[in-house]
Structure 1
Amino acid sequence: MLTAIIDYESGNLHSAEKAFQRMARELDAGEVVVTSDAEVVAKADRLVLPGDGAFPACAAELRGHKGIYDAMVEAVEDKGRPFLGICVGMQLMATTGHEYQATAGLNWVKGDVVPITPVDASLKVPHMGWNDLIIDTPHAILDGVENGQHVYFVHSYHFQVSNPAERLAHVDYAGDITAIIGRDTMVGMQFHPEKSQKIGLQMIGNFLNWRP
């Protein structure tokens, strides 16, 4: 079993690599590699797409690595390989991002990525730090996770899903902020599971064991 963390030059992948490798060892869930090799992406059994920075820049970097991009799309859309997007990697699953300009996403989960606009002026943007998960839709990625458990966020834009059934969990930050999305063989997390201590490792393990 091979899990590929896709390196398209958009963020530091060290923390994610270590967290996924730790859980793969604990669960005997095969090998985890960070890769920029399209052939490795094509043959991987499951894929992880991280992302840090602005939506347009990440989208441009991903599409600019055409071999990786094409291999990822084929693996997910045609072969149904399990996929996890993290932070901007989740946002790229949307129809359109609206950071600086309208930028096309992968359109895997319909919806838009828009600025966080808290009505409470005391709440700062970016949304940074720990917040309590509120589960909306049961899913294998949430096995062992309970309402109120804390995960770690750093973001200024959030994903407004078109289909409420595809929002698996949210947090309250002067309004609902999507935390986890999911459809078919795809899931996405706005927070950083690799920085979310025990509960984050639990969800990483759930992904590595997921058989959709």
Structure 2
Amino acid sequence: MNVTIVDYNSGNISSVINSFKEVAKEKIKIEVTSNLDKIKSTDKIVLPGQGSFKSCVDALNNIDGLVDTLNEFTIINKKPLLGICVGLQMFADVGYEEIETKGLGWIKGRVSKIDNQNGKFKLPHIGWNELNMVKESRIFKEIKDKSHMYFVHSYEFIPKDKDVISSTTNYSSNIVCSIEKENIFGTQFHPEKSDKLGLKIIENFLNL
């Protein structure tokens, strides 16, 4: 099996690459590329994202044909894709970081700044926080409710359909931590920075 981490110049993704390679060992081939033919022929995709919503969307659009290839892979061929941090946020129709920016439109919703309640909650939301499991998710196999994951973000994904939400965390409000919709998976937290439990989530995705 081949798993492709999409490298579209969205910041440092070395910890994502290292974690996936650590879990995959020699059994699964992990490729890091923006080559469209390789992305089309792979079995699973990981879409990382660091920086702002706009900068990540712009970086995807800067590689000719990449968005169309991702749409074909995910929406038409329904192969598994995991978005991490801004990688998840880009599933939305629209994001409001910097300026209003159109997202991939895979899951109806918007990405808005976390309401810090007039400075009561620090932004960005950085550090370990507790997951509240909302529904069963295949990538949470053997992960217990109230487990802690590592976050770094100031914006949150607010989907229109609450049924896609698999977990939330309480920071100012119930923030979406993860989603699952058919073949589309996403985590707002960083599994690659979330110690053994994060590696277990990566393993669960690789084993789908």
1:59 matched residue in structure 2: 57
Unaligned runs of 5+ in 1: none
Alignment of 1:1-212 (within 5 A): 1-25=1-25, 28=27, 30-119=28-117, 121-210=119-208
Cα deviation 1:68-100 (Å, max 9, x = unaligned): 322222111111110000010100001110112
**RMSD after superposition:** 1.2
Provide the C-alpha distance between the structure 1 equivalents of 2:152 and 2:69, rounded to a whole number of angstroms: 29
Provide the C-alpha distance between the structure 2 equivalents of 1:121 and 1:97, rounded to a whole number of angstroms: 22
Cα deviation 1:27-51 (Å, max 9, x = unaligned): x3x1011112111111110001001
- Give the percent of matched residue pairs that are identical in Structure 1 and Structure 2: 38
Checking the alignment, whether the CA contact within 8 Å between 1:11 and 1:50 is kept in structure 2 is no
Provide the C-alpha distance between the structure 2 equivalents of 1:85 and 1:14, rounded to a whole number of angstroms: 16
3-state SS, counterpart of residue 205 of structure 1: helix
Checking the alignment, whether the CA contact within 8 Å between 1:97 and 1:103 is kept in structure 2 is yes
Q: In the alignment, residue 24 of structure 1 is paired with which amino acid?
A: A
Checking the alignment, whether the CA contact within 8 Å between 1:129 and 1:152 is kept in structure 2 is yes
Provide the C-alpha distance between the structure 2 equivalents of 1:101 and 1:69, rounded to a whole number of angstroms: 20
Provide the C-alpha distance between the structure 1 equivalents of 2:98 and 2:15, rounded to a whole number of angstroms: 28
Question: What is the aligned residue count?
Answer: 208
Q: TM-score, normalised by structure 1?
A: 0.95
Provide the C-alpha distance between the structure 1 equivalents of 2:105 and 2:207, rounded to a whole number of angstroms: 25
Checking the alignment, whether the CA contact within 8 Å between 1:10 and 1:52 is kept in structure 2 is yes
**How many Å apart are 1:174 and its aligned residue?**
1.9
Q: TM-score, normalised by structure 2?
A: 0.96
Unaligned runs of 5+ in 2: none
Provide the C-alpha distance between the structure 2 equivalents of 1:67 and 1:60, rounded to a whole number of angstroms: 13
Provide the C-alpha distance between the structure 2 equivalents of 1:78 and 1:62, rounded to a whole number of angstroms: 19
Q: In the alignment, residue 23 of structure 1 is paired with which amino acid?
A: V
**How many Å apart are 1:20 and its aligned residue?**
0.6
Which contiguous aligned blocks of 4+ residues in structure 1 show a shift greater than 4 angstroms? Answer: none
Cα deviation 1:181-201 (Å, max 9, x = unaligned): 111100111111000001100
Provide the C-alpha distance between the structure 2 equivalents of 1:126 and 1:13, rounded to a whole number of angstroms: 19
Q: In the alignment, residue 18 of structure 2 is paired with which amino acid?
A: K
